[in-house]
Every structure is written in structure tokens, then in C-alpha cells.
């Protein structure tokens, strides 16, 4: 019985992390896809993406980096989004 509880907890944690990642990525996408009305919006997007990256790093560590590669790919996508937002912030200065 005890083994099944651990397996259930691991499976539940993986699902929770996957859902959290999708929600954060979707939220970052929605925020960044909206028309920029104020350049401070980009600063907020940058903060949200950074928070999502930190959350993903913690989640991957909590799962001993065992997420069938999905956690790593999610983190890579978040880092790509972070680079793009940084480029947009740099472009506003020009």
C-alpha cells in the first residue's frame, strides 16, 4: 500500500507541475501577445516570465528532474520568451 501512495504522490506532483507550467506559459503568452499600451507592460511581462522560470526550476528540482523531458522543454521555452522580451525592451530604448 505504501508504495502505491508514493507512486500516486509522484504522479500527482507531475500533473500539478505540468498544469502549473501550462498555465504560466499561457498567461505569459497572453500578456505578451496583447498590444503594448504602456512600455511598463513589458517590464511586467519580464517579471512574470522570470517568476515562471524560477517556479519551473523549483518544480523540476522537487521532482528530481524526472519529468520525461517536459520540464526541461518548458524551461527552455520560458528562457526563449525571456530573451524575446529583453530584445523588445532593448528595442524600445532605440
User: How many domains are there within the chain?
Assistant: 1
Determine contact, residues 53/82, Cβ cutoff 8 Å: yes
Alpha-helix residue ranges (DSSP H) falling in 1-69: 2-33, 40-62
Summarize the confidence of residues 28-52 as an average pLDDT. Answer: 73
pLDDT band at residue 1 under the 50/70/90 scheme: very low
Closest alpha carbon to 59 in 44, 72, 77: 72
pTM of the complete model beyond 0.95: no
Does residue 78 carry a pLDDT above 60? Answer: yes
- Sequence-distant (≥ 6) Cβ neighbours of residue 65 within 8 angstroms: 71, 72
Q: What domain range is 80 assigned to?
A: 2-93
Question: Is the pLDDT higher at 67 or at 86?
Answer: 86
| C-alpha–C-alpha distance, residues 51 and 45, integer Å | 10
Amino acid at each position: 500500500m505504501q508504495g502505491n501512495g508514493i507512486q500516486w504522490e509522484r504522479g500527482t506532483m507531475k500533473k500539478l507541475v505540468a498544469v502549473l507550467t501550462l498555465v504560466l506559459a499561457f498567461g505569459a503568452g497572453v500578456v505578451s501577445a496583447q498590444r503594448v499600451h504602456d512600455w511598463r507592460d513589458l517590464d511586467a511581462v519580464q517579471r512574470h516570465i522570470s517568476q515562471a522560470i524560477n517556479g519551473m526550476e523549483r518544480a523540476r528540482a522537487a521532482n528530481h528532474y524526472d519529468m520525461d523531458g517536459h520540464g526541461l522543454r518548458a524551461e527552455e521555452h520560458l528562457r526563449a520568451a525571456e530573451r524575446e522580451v529583453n530584445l523588445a525592451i532593448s528595442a524600445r530604448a532605440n
